Homo-oligomer: A and B are copies of this chain.
Amino acid sequence: MAIQSSETIAEGGQLADGFAVTPKAVYPGIWCVRLGYPEAIVPSRFRSADPAEPKGLAEVSACPLDVTQWLARRSAQGFTVMIPASDEAYYGLGLQLKSLNQKAKKRVLRVNSDPPADTGDSHAPVPLLISPRGWGLLFDTARYVQFYVGSHHAPGDITASDHGITPVATETDALYGRSSGAGSPIQAHVPHCQGVDVYIIAGPTLRDVVCRYNLFSGGGCLPSLRGLGVWYRAFAQWDQEQVLSIAHRLRDSQMPCDVLGLEPGWQSHAYPCTFAWDSHRFPQPDQMIRQLAEQGFEVNLWEHAFVHPDSPMRPRIGDRVGQWAVFNGAVPDLLDPDVQQVFTDHHQHQFAEQGISGFKLDECDSSDFVKRPWSFPEHDQFPSGADGEQMHSLFGLAYQRAIGDAFEAVDRRTYGEVRSSHAFAAPQPFVLYSDLYDHRDFVRGMCTSGFSGLLWCPEVRHARSSEELVRRLQTVILSPQALINAWYIDGTPWDMDYTQADVQPARRRGRTDESGCSPGVEQTRGICRRVLQLRMRLVPYLYSAFADYLRQGLPPVRALVMDWPNDPQVRELDDQWMFGPDLLAVPIFTGQQTRRFYLPEGRWHDIFTGRVYAGGQFHEREVRLDEMLIFAADGTLLPIAQDLPHITDQTVFDVQVHRFGSPSRTCRLWEDDGCTFDYRRGVFNELHVALSEEGVLKVLRLGKYAGSRHRVGLATSPSVRW
């Protein structure tokens, strides 16, 4: 019979069966609280890595939250946990493109591709909530958790002052936005289940919570070095010759590029996928890969996981598929290790061994907001025992793992794109992307992704003006992946003449900004080239930031509040971000002739002009189209490399170190072969670059890597020439 009334499972530190609710230490500074009877299919079961060394983390002896104050309840709907908290802000819950601070919001953590509003739906929802006061809560569930993040209070908790007479409101915001009084706990409702494991993650600081979570997940990923260069995804209809042609054109026009991405047209059938080359459009893929490699290009291939009957993988998967087709393809049960292995084997033998460097994993999320529901139903049933909801939550994660393993098998690191992810994802060498294409939302993703072990790419597709193109490029080069995704553009975005009306009509669902100034093609191309060159020059700095992600769990891209949790000015700041250890990025949006921005406490240096700005206040500056706003924290030694059209496995970076303020902090540079997993076997170096009081540069190279990837010198100019 149906459960018609609810049942209290835990209250006052006691479980219904009389046992005490006891946080169990599972990692330094992380405790697990078991409430009720958790399900079998949960994210922790499908982790790809063991926890990493708790390197750099402060020791914490006591669990930061008092679980005796929690209330847990079971009902026909599922399992509800209420946790007293009254923090001023909450962060996390995965990639959130529509808001940074989750306080006072209702969040539905559905996996979704195209949320048009700030609902919590996301490509990569993660049931991890983090307080600036220095604690985190991870709900180990593949269900679509509903969070009410300090949004509601009980009628009895309302004080008389909450009911004071107010003027009659005639604005919805005034009516709906009133104070919610005291005592609004965090409510987490986990549907359909009868229990959940909750991980409590200690700080003591917000940043420590994030680092601890990432290390517990296995540490951040270390992409292939070349993956940190420039990416270009080519028009989907181009054939082998046209792909070789764009490669030539990129080199001829001196546009830096390391990775060429091929879209669905490379396959003999897509959608759904055969995962096999189309012999008409690409008659000699091996030859093409070799020719591209000779010019310094890696090749990345698009796919999704829905399997065409003609795919060589199809017979091996058999009936281990979902009950419903997607894009007319079978949905592989990727939570079955054998099915995952079919994907791994195929991608290893057919692609990784042939020199393909990685994959773009499309449409592993879901659809609720588009015209037609293209993904499998939430009530689908898979042979592994997962239903559609659980599968949606874990599908992207399992998919990343299957493809990542193909490259691990050949001892090559990969770097790719993926459209869905979930908990414990930090070790996955994939960046998230989206069709939603609003520039401000894309910038917000830079701020929110870092809280939950996710990487996010604000990729550049089309633009309505050369101004927009430049502004978007300036954003993407300060992201984990400098990707131009021109899959629907028969040409390159910088060769369009934006002064012509309608050269590039509004495309896709995303909003594009209004056109502002539009310089001509030549000038635009020149600006774009310089922007991409800047990316190339930042690769050693960024690669070392990834080494920090790997070993300390510190996200290379993150919201300012992660570094300044006590500064109320950054609590809601979602249009600036930290890039690596020392740089603060201020993106500029189309139409902005001046940009207002905030700098936290301390002194800040414009890396291009050298101008010094006082922190702890807002500034405003005029910005030309070819200007970017990047600030170095006082005391930074910033390593900037020479221009390179692309990186190779043999590249040695000529690094010039720029000094911004004094005394200088030591600059660390990571080096290894850039492409294998030797670093896991201890084969890497760490360069300590320091400036003596006399202004002499000292470089200390520590480690087992026999090669050298950096020649380091002191910059002759005080600021970065651009």
Contacts and interface: CB of A to CB of B under 8 A. Distances in A.
Contacts of A6: 381, 387
Contact of A119 (B118, B189, B330, B369): B369
Contact of A169 (B236, B323, B377): B236
A370 B180 contact: no
A371 interface: yes
A1 B325 contact: no
A72 to B, nearest CB: 12
A390 to B, nearest CB: 9
A170 B237 contact: yes
Interface in A167-188: 167-173, 175-181, 187
Nearest to A118: B371
Nearest to A175: B271
Interface stretch (A54-62, A73-81, A128-136, A543-551): A73-81
A191 interface: yes
A155 B325 contact: yes
Contacts of A415: none
A172 B509 contact: yes
A106 interface: yes
Contact of A372 (B177, B377, B385): B177
A381 B321 CA distance: 38
Nearest to A325: B155
Contacts of A387: 6, 75-77
A153 B78 contact: no
A562 B40 CA distance: 48
Contact of A368 (B119, B330, B372): B119
Nearest to A489: B170
Nearest to A321: B155
A707 interface: no
A105 B271 CA distance: 20
A265 B175 CA distance: 12
Given A6-B381, A77-B387, A170 B236 contact: yes
> How often does this chain occur in the complex, in copies?
2
A195 interface: yes
A64 B700 CA distance: 84
B163 A308 contact: yes
Interface string A124-160: 0000000000000000000000101001111101100
A421 B709 CA distance: 68
Interface in A367-383: 367-374, 376-379, 381
Nearest to A165: B269
B235 A372 contact: no
A104 interface: yes
Nearest to A189: B379
Contacts of A237: 167-168, 170
Given A163-B308, A379-B80, A151 B117 contact: no
Nearest to A148: B377
B324 A377 contact: no
A696 interface: no
A325 B154 contact: yes
Interface string A315-334: 00000010111011111000
A312 to B, nearest CB: 15
A678 interface: no
Nearest to A507: B171
A37 interface: yes
A344 to B, nearest CB: 22
Given A76-B387, A172-B435, A189-B378, A328 B158 contact: yes
Given A105-B372, A119-B368, A170 B487 contact: yes
Contacts of A381: 6, 75
B324 A194 contact: no
A105 B177 contact: no
Nearest to A41: B4
A197 interface: no
Contacts of A200: none
Nearest to A508: B172
B328 A163 contact: yes
B379 A146 contact: yes
A2 B191 CA distance: 12
Nearest to A330: B155
Given A178-B327, A271-B175, A379-B77, A151 B373 contact: yes
Contacts of A153: 324-325
A5 interface: yes
A530 interface: no
A541 B248 CA distance: 75
Contacts of A151: 372-373
Given A153-B324, A178-B327, A146 B378 contact: yes
A264 interface: yes
A581 to B, nearest CB: 34
Contacts of A309: 158, 163
A76 B193 contact: yes
Interface string A554-576: 00000000000000000000000
A591 interface: no
A162 B328 contact: yes
A323 to B, nearest CB: 6
Contacts of A152: 324-325, 373, 376-377
Given A77-B192, A108-B368, A5 B385 contact: yes
A116 interface: yes
Contacts of A325: 152-155, 157-158, 181
26 contacts: A2-B39, A2-B195, A6-B387, A39-B76, A77-B191, A77-B389, A78-B192, A78-B379, A80-B379, A105-B372, A118-B371, A148-B373, A151-B372, A151-B373, A153-B325, A154-B323, A154-B325, A163-B309, A163-B310, A168-B236, A168-B270, A172-B435, A175-B327, A176-B371, A177-B371, A192-B192
Given A78-B192, A152-B376, A176-B327, 9 more contacts: A5-B385, A75-B379, A77-B387, A146-B379, A154-B323, A155-B331, A158-B325, A163-B328, A180-B372
**Which 5 A-B pairs give the minimum distances between C-beta atoms?**
A106-B373, A168-B265, A170-B488, A152-B324, A155-B330
